[in-house]
Amino acid sequence: MSLFPDLGEHAGFIWMAYGVSALVLTGLVVWIRIDARRQISLLADLEAKGIRRRSAGHTQGKKAAKEK
């Protein structure tokens, strides 16, 4: 069994269809991951500056109270 099967006279169209699909979907995955990392780092920057969500602060306050 060869890695690339013989796809006959229209092989170019078939490989092109699969190639373009792989390219577009990989691009979409990369874009979504980059966007996710960017938002995570922006949120971390804000939290490092002491700017937190009220609910996050509330949860942390509860945790701190329990630890005491």
Partner 1 sequence: MTQAEGTFNRLANPTRFMGLASTILPWLTGLTAILLVAGLYLAFFVAPEDYQQGHTVKIMFIHVPFAWLAMMGYSVIAIASIGSLIWRHPMADVAAKTAAPIGACFTLLALITGSLWGKPMWGTYWVWDARLTSVLLLFFLYLGLMALWQAIEEPSRAGRAAAILAIVGSVNIPIIKFSVDWWNTLHQPASVVKLDGPAIHSSILIPLLIMAAAFTCLFFVLHLMAMRTEVLRRRVQALRLTHVDAAGATQGARA
Q: Cα–Cα distance between 59 and 65 in angstroms, integer?
A: 10
13 binds partner 1 (CB under 8 A): yes
Phi, psi of 24 (to 5 degrees): -65, -45
Name the minimum Å distance from CB 67 to partner 1. 22
Which of 9/68 has CB closer to partner 1? 9
Burial code (b: 16+ CB inside 10 Å, e: under 16) for 38-65 equals eeeeeeeeeeeeeeeeeeeeeeeeeeee
CB nearer partner 1, residue 32 or residue 65: 32
Q: Please, which of residues 25-54 interact with partner 1 by CB under 8 A?
A: 25, 28-29, 31-33, 35-36, 39-40, 42-43, 46, 51-53
